[in-house]
Amino acid sequence: MSELRIGLGYDAHAFAEGRMLVLGGVTIPHPRGLFGHSDADVLVHAIMDAILGAMREGDIGHHFPDADMRYAGISSIELLRQVAGIVTRNGYRLVDVDAVLVLEQPRIAPHREAMRERIADALGVEPRRVGVKATTTEGLGFEGRGEGVAAQAVVLLERIGSPDAP
């Protein structure tokens, strides 16, 4: 039997004026974006943390610290490509990712397929291996008050070989 690993990721960012809203690697028309050191793509951040966690490789703050100016304003999709490289180097393959955005606005359904495709492309897998959905909190919490967006992700990795590095 092959070795399977599960990882769970979570991220949240506050809305901010004067920034583009990027979710799942897709720029979405909205009056406010999310505050963060990179493009603040909470969906991709949650997925990266889930993947890194499944491999026991720390978290995105360890790999891409916000004190490092190389990552200021960087596309989270580019960081996800780097995480995909870590997956390969460690002898794993992505079996599945399922993620949920938690927000009141904007509506995600019109952008869902583009998000799945961008994420899948960055990970080097077929879009069928990437699930993206959204939910509201019915007005509860910071998401419900429209103060920000949260995301959760779970991934399944399978070991396909021995890692290149110890």
- pLDDT tens per residue across span 124-161: 999 999 999 999 999 999 999 999 999 999 999 999 87
The CATH superfamily label for domain 4-159 reads 2-C-methyl-D-erythritol 2,4-cyclodiphosphate synthase (3.30.1330.50)
**Residue 153 near residue 159 (C-beta atoms within 8 A):** no
Q: What is the pLDDT of residue 2?
A: 76
DSSP bridge partners of 12: 150
Q: What is the pLDDT of residue 1?
A: 58
**Residue 79 near residue 44 (C-beta atoms within 8 A):** yes
Q: What is the pLDDT of residue 166?
A: 42
- In whole angstroms, how large is the CA radius of gyration of the chain? 15
Q: What is the pLDDT of residue 156?
A: 98
Q: How far apart are CA 122 and CA 88, in angstroms?
A: 13
Q: What is the pLDDT of residue 125?
A: 97
Three-state secondary-structure class, residue 136 = coil
**Residue 119 near residue 151 (C-beta atoms within 8 A):** no
Per-residue pLDDT of the chain (166 residues; tens, 9 = 90+): 579 999 999 999 999 999 999 999 999 999 999 999 999 999 999 999 999 999 999 999 999 998 889 999 899 999 999 999 999 999 999 999 999 999 999 999 999 999 999 999 999 999 999 999 999 999 999 999 999 999 999 999 999 876 654 4
